[in-house]
Amino acid sequence: MKKFLKLVLASVFIFSMSAMAQDQTPPQGPGPGMRQQLSAQVRAENIAKELNLTDGDKVKVQAIYEKNDAIFAKFRADVSRDSPDFREKFKALRDAQDAELVEVIGKEKFEAYQKLQAERRQKMMNNN
């Protein structure tokens, strides 16, 4: 009986150690406080749906998002968030993207899009 009990305890110990050793990799994806970026295609579909864009405009918007995603990724890799001019440079990139969007969808639809974004931001702030 003692041998059986020792065998059971040893087995439980070994299995518990192997279970703990299984998932020791750090989680992938955005870190704490960060959110996952939607793909250019999903964002283009969302803006097209919200503003009733034509298929041609949707394709142009998606191309703008894809191009700027690469620019933003390079910018984030090259410039530290702690840099004193990070905000100004990032805002300049956003303003350039917004200017491209205005050229494609027009000023009225872009203003409607900005209003929707502001409402979404306000809703998110109220939920937190």
In terms of Cβ atoms closer than 10 Å to its own Cβ (0-12, 13-18, 19+), residue 29 is: exposed
Q: What is the mean pLDDT of residues 37-51?
A: 89
Q: Span 92-112, mean pLDDT?
A: 93
Q: What angle do CA 47, 48, 54 make, to 5 degrees?
A: 150
Q: Please report the pLDDT score of residue 96 as a whole number.
A: 94
Rounded distance, CA 36 to CA 13, Å?
Answer: 39
Burial of 122 (0-12, 13-18, 19+ CB in 10 A): exposed
pTM of the full predicted structure? 0.66
- Confidence class of residue 22 from pLDDT cuts 50, 70 and 90? low
Task: Look at residue 70 in the predicted model and tell me its pLDDT.
Answer: 92
Residue 44 has pLDDT above 80, yes or no: yes
pLDDT for position 31 = 56
**At residue 28, does pLDDT exceed 70?**
no
- The DSSP code for 48 is H
